[in-house]
Structure 1
Amino acid sequence: MLSTESAPVIRATLPAVGAAIEEITALFYRKLFEAHPELLRDLFNRGNQANGEQRKALAGSIAAFAGMLLERPDSRPDAMLARIANKHASLGITSDQYKVVHTHLFAAIAEVLGDAVTPEVASAWDEVYWLMANALIAAEARLYQEAGAAEGEVWRTMRVAGRTQETADTVSLVLRSEDGSPAGPFRPGQYVSVQVELPDGARQIRQYSLSAAPGGTDWRITVKQVQGAGTPEGEVSSWLHREAKAGDLLTVSMPFGDLVLPDGDGPLLLASAGIGCTPMLAMLGHLAETGSTRPVQVVHADRTPADHAHLTELQELVQALPKAALERWYEQPGDAAPQARAGLVDVDALELPAGVTAYLCGPLPFMRAVREGLLRRGVSASAVHYEVFGPDLWLGQN
C-alpha cells in the first residue's frame, strides 16, 4: 500500500511518467548495459532488446503496478507479480540485482524528466519501485525455497537423451539428468529455462514448456524455430535445432511457472495455438495418467495440420480421457483434416459448461481474442489464465 504522502504525488505525476515511460526504459537499458555488459550477453534476451519488447514490458509493468496501487490500494496485482517472479526465478535472478536496476532506472527517470523530478516526486516513485521490487523478491524467495535451491542457484547440466522432428520447424528434445537419475518433479504446465553458448560467446537463455506429463525419468521440451535465424530473435531456437543432438549436454533450470493444472474435478478449457500446445500436453498427460474423469475441452489453432506439433499424441491423450473433447481450427485445413474447422477459433461456437476454468497459451493476438470471447460469454476474469513466453506485453490481466 502506498503511503498517504506518496499517493497524491503518484496520482499527479503518473500521466507524465506514463507518457515518458518508454523513453525512460530505453535510456535505462542503455545505461544498465553500458555499466554491466555481461547482463545483455548472458542474462537478458537479446532478441527482445533488439525488437523493443522488453522495454515495453518493463514500462507496462511499472505503469500497471503504480495504477493498481492507486485504484486498489488494499490489494496487490498478484497475478502479474507471480508471472514476473516465476520468470525471474527461472533465470536465477537475485535480490542484489534489484539494487542495480534501481540505480540505473532512477538515473534514467531523472535525466528524462529533468526538473520535474523534485525530491518529493523522487521519493514517491522510489516507494513504488521498492513496493514492487520487495514483493517480487519475497515471491522469488518462496519459489527458490519450494525448489530447494539457494537464491539464484537454479541451473543444472542435463543430457539430451532423444530428439524427434515433430514438424518441419519443430523439434522435441528429451532431457535426462547427467547421472541418469530421475529428472525431478514439476507441475503440469510449468517450463524450464535453457541456456546455450552461442558462437560469439554469449550465453543466451530462453524458456520452454515441459511438454510431457511429470512422473517419468526424463523431461521433454518442444522447440519451434523462430523465424529470423540470423537475428537475435531466433538465435537460441536455431542453435537448438542445428546443434542439440542425442548425447549432448545442455544447461537447464529447475521448473517454474504459474500456469499450472489446478486440483479438483471442475471443468477445464485448454486453448492453445501453435507451439502453445506444449503446456497443454503436460496437463492432458497428467490427467490421463491419473485417471481423471473431469470434463476437459481442448481447443487448438494452427496454420495447417502439418504445422500442428504432437497432433497424434494430442488426439491419443484426448481419447484416453472419458470426458474430453478436441476441437481444431486450421487456417488452411486442406483434405488432411476434414473434421477440423477453417479459420480462427470462434469462442461463440464452443460449448462452455458452468464453472469452467480456462488455460490459454499461444500468440498474444490469439489469447486476447479468446479471453475477450470468454469474458463476453460470462466466464469470470479470475477463471481465465494464460502463459506468455518472452516479455509479458499483457501485464495487469488475470
Structure 2
Amino acid sequence: MLSEQSTPVIRDTLPVVGAAIGEITERFYEKLFDAHPELLRDLFNRGNQANGEQQKALAGSIAAFAGMLLEHPETRPDAMLARIANKHASLGIASDQYKIVHEHLFAAIVEVLGDAVTPEVAGAWDEVYWLMANALIALEAGLYRQAGAPEGGTWQQMVIAGRQQETPDVASFTLRRADGRPAGAFRPGQYVSVQVELPDGARQIRQYSLSSEPGRDEWRITVKRVHDGTRPDGEVSTWLHENARVGDRLSVSAPFGDLTLAAGEGPLLLASAGIGSTPMLAMLNDLAATGSTRPVTVVHADRSPADHAHRAELRQLVGKLPNATLHLWYERDAEQEPQAATGQADLDALELPENTTAYLCGPLPFMRAVRGGLLRRGLPAQDVHYEVFGPDLWLGQQ
C-alpha cells in the first residue's frame, strides 16, 4: 500500500512521468547496458531491445503499477506481478539485480525530468519502485522454492531426443534430461526458457511453451522461426532451426508461467492463433489424459492449413474429449480443411456455456479482439486469461 504522504505526489506526477516514460526507459537501458554490457549480451532479448518492445513493456508495467496503487490502494495487482515474476524466474533474475535497475532507472528519471524531480517526488517514486520490486522479489523467491532451486539457479542440461518439422517455419524438439532422470512435472500452459550460445559469443534466452502432455518423462517445445520481414530475424529461433539436432544439448530452465489450466469441471474456451496453439496443446493433452468430461470450446486461427502446426494432433485431441468442439479459421485455403471457415476468427456466433473460463494465446491484435468480444458478452475479466510471447505490451490495459 502506498503511504499517505506519497499518494498525492504520485497522483499529481503520474501524468508527467507517464508522458516521459518512453524517454526515461530509453535512457535507462542506455545507462544500464553501458555499465553492464553482459546483461544485453546474456540476459535481455537483443531483438526486443532493437525494435523498442522491451522499453514499451517496462514503461507499461511501471505506469500500470503506479496507477493501480492509486485506483485500488487496498489491493495488490497480483495478476500483473505474477506474470512478470514468472518471466523473471524463467530468466534466472536474482534479487540483487533490482538494486542495479533502481540505480540506473532513477538516474534516467532525474536526467529526463530535471528540476521537476524534487526530493519529495523522488521519495514518492522510490516508494513505488520498491513496493513493486519487493513484491516481485518475494514472488520470485516462492517460484524458486517451488522449483527446488536456488535463486536464479533453475538451469539444467537437456538433450534433444527428437526433432519434427511441423511446417516450413515451425519445428518441434523433444527434450530429455542429460542425467537420465525424468524431465519433471509441469502445469499445462507453462513455458521454459532456452539459452543458446550464438556465433558472437552471446548467450541469448527465449521462452517456449511446453506443448506435450504434462505427465510424460520428456518435454516438447515448438519453435516458430521468426523472419516475417517486419522486425529482425529471431536470433534464438533461427539458431535452433539451423543448428539444433538430435543428440545436441541445450540449457533449459524449470517450467514457469501463470497461464495454467485451473482444476475443476467448469466449461473452458481455448482460443489461439498461430504459434499460440502450443500452450493449448498441453492443456488438451492433459484433459485427454485425465479423461475429462468438461465442456471445451477450442478455437484456432491461422494463415492457412499448411501453416497450422500440430493441426492433426489438435483434431485428434479434440476428438478424444466427449464434450469438446473445434472451430477453425484460415485466411486462405480454408476449403482444404474440413469444416474450416475463411477469414479472421469470429467468436460472436459461438455458443459459450455460462461460467466459461477462457484462455487466450496468440498475436496481440487477436487477443485484444477476442477478449473484447468476450467482455461484451458478459464474461468477467478475471475469467479471461492470456499469455504473451515476448514483452507484455498489454499490462496497462488489464
Gaps of 5+ in 2: none
2-structure distance, mates of 1:301, 1:346: 9
- 1:155 equivalent to 2:155? Answer yes
Match of 2:339 in 1: 339
What code does the residue aligned with 1:10 have?
Answer: I
Report the alpha carbon displacement of residue 396 of structure 1 after superposing the two structures with TM.
Answer: 4.0
* Secondary structure of residue in 2 paired with 1:266: coil
SS at match of 2:365: helix
- The count of corresponding residues between Structure 1 and Structure 2 is 398
* Cα deviation digits, residues 338-386 of structure 1 (max 9, x gap): 4101111112111111000000000000000000000011111000000
1:315 alignment counterpart: 315
**Residues 1:227 and 1:23: Cα distance change in structure 2 (over 3 Å):** same
Equivalence for 1:282: 282
Say which SS state the counterpart of residue 326 (structure 1) adopts. Answer: strand
Distance in 1 of aligned mates of 2:230 and 2:218: 31
Match of 1:166 in 2: 166
Distance in structure 2 (CA, Å) of the matches to 1:246 and 1:143: 31
Separation of aligned partners in 2, 1:48 and 1:74: 34
Structure 1, residues 52-99: CA drift from partner, whole Å, max 9, x if none? Answer: 000000001000100111111001111110100000000000000000
- Could you tell me how far apart the structure 1 residues matched to 2:232 and 2:356 are? 39
* Partner residue in 2 for 1:17: 17
Aligned to 1:125: 125
Cα distance change on mapping 1:320 and 1:314 into 2, 3 Å:
same
- What is the CA deviation profile of residues 171-206 of structure 1, one whole-angstrom value per residue up to 9, with x for unaligned ones? 000000102221000000000000000000000000
Distance in 2, matches of 1:253 and 1:378, equals 38
Deviations 1:216-251 (A, max 9, x none): 110000000001699754111000000010000000
Aligned equivalents of 2:159, 2:151: Cα separation in 1: 24
Contact 1:79 1:397 in 2 (8 A): no
Change (3 A) 1:17 1:39: same
The answer to whether the 8 Å contact 2:334/2:341 transfers is: no
C-alpha distance 229-370 of structure 1, shift in aligned 2 (>3 A): closer
Match of 1:385 in 2: 385
Distance in 1 (CA, whole Å) between partners of 2:66 and 2:158 is 41
Contact 1:46 1:232 in 2 (8 A): no
Question: Amino acid of the residue matched to residue 84 of structure 2?
Answer: I
1:334 shift after superposition:
4.0
* 1:268-288 superposed Cα distances (whole Å, 9 cap, x missing partner): 000000000000000000000
The DSSP-based 3-state class of the residue aligned with 2:395 is coil
Q: Alpha-carbon deviations, 1:83-131, whole Å to 9, x = none?
A: 0000000000000000000000000000000000000000000000000
Whole-angstrom distance in 2 between the partners of 1:303 and 1:230? 17
Aligned to 1:243: 243
Alignment-derived partner of residue 329 in structure 2: 329
Instruction: Tell me, in whole angstroms, the C-alpha distance in 1 between the residues paired with 2:53 and 2:85.
Output: 18
Do the aligned residues in 2 keep the contact of 1:80 with 1:397 (CA within 8 Å)? no
Give the TM-score, by structure 2 length. Answer: 0.98
**Does the 8 Å contact 1:272/1:280 carry over to 2?**
yes
Which amino acid in 2 is paired with 1:53? Answer: E
Structure 2 distance, partners of 1:137, 1:228, is: 36
Per the alignment, residue 193 of structure 1 pairs with 193
AA paired with 1:312?
A: A
Decide whether aligned partners of structure 1 residues 334 and 286 sit closer, same or farther in structure 2, where only a CA change above 3 A counts.
Answer: closer
SS of structure 1 residue aligned to 2:234: helix
CA contact (8 A) 2:63 2:396 kept: no
Alpha carbons of structure 1 residues 92 and 198: separation in structure 2 relative to 1, 3 Å? same
1:266 aligns with 2:244: no
> For residues 231 and 268 of structure 1, what CA distance do their matches in structure 2 show?
34
Aligned to 1:4: 4
The one-letter amino acid of 1:117's match is V
Aligned twin of 1:72: 72
Runs of 4 or more off by more than 2 Å in structure 1? 228-233
Q: Against the structure 1 CA distance between its residues 229 and 46, is the aligned structure 2 distance closer, same or farther, given a 3 Å change threshold?
A: farther
**Counterparts of 1:225 and 1:7 in 2: how far apart (Å)?**
46
SS of match in other structure, 2:201: coil
Q: 1:360 corresponds to which residue?
A: 360
- Which residue of structure 2 lines up, in the alignment, with residue 175 of structure 1? 175
- Cα deviations by residue, 1:109-162 (Å, 9 ceiling, x for unpaired): 000000000000000000000000001001001101111111000100100000
TM-score, with structure 1 as normaliser: 0.98
Q: Is the 8 A contact 1:229 1:238 kept in 2?
A: no
CA distance, structure 2, for counterparts of residue 336 and residue 354 of structure 1: 33
Distance 1:334 1:82 in 2: 38
* Aligned-partner SS, 1:348: coil
Secondary structure of 1:335's counterpart equals helix
Please state if 1:254 is matched with 2:276. no
Aligned partner of residue 212 in structure 2, secondary structure: coil
Deviations 1:305-358 (A, max 9, x none): 000000000000000011111000001134311410111111211111100000
Is contact 1:361-1:367 (8 Å) kept? Answer: yes
Separation in 2, partners of 1:143, 1:73:
25
Q: Which moved more, 1:224-233 or 1:113-122?
A: 224-233
Partner of 2:184: 184
Aligned equivalent of 1:83 = 83
What is the distance in 2 between the residues matched to 1:326 and 1:338? Answer: 11
Q: In the alignment, what sits opposite 1:298? A: 298
Does the 8 Å contact 2:334/2:340 carry over to 1?
A: no
CA distance in 2, matches of 1:397, 1:358: 17
The whole-number CA distance in structure 1 between the counterparts of 2:396 and 2:265 is: 28
Check the 8 A contact 1:273/1:362 in 2, yes or no.
yes
Q: Which residue of 1 is the match for residue 30 of structure 2? A: 30
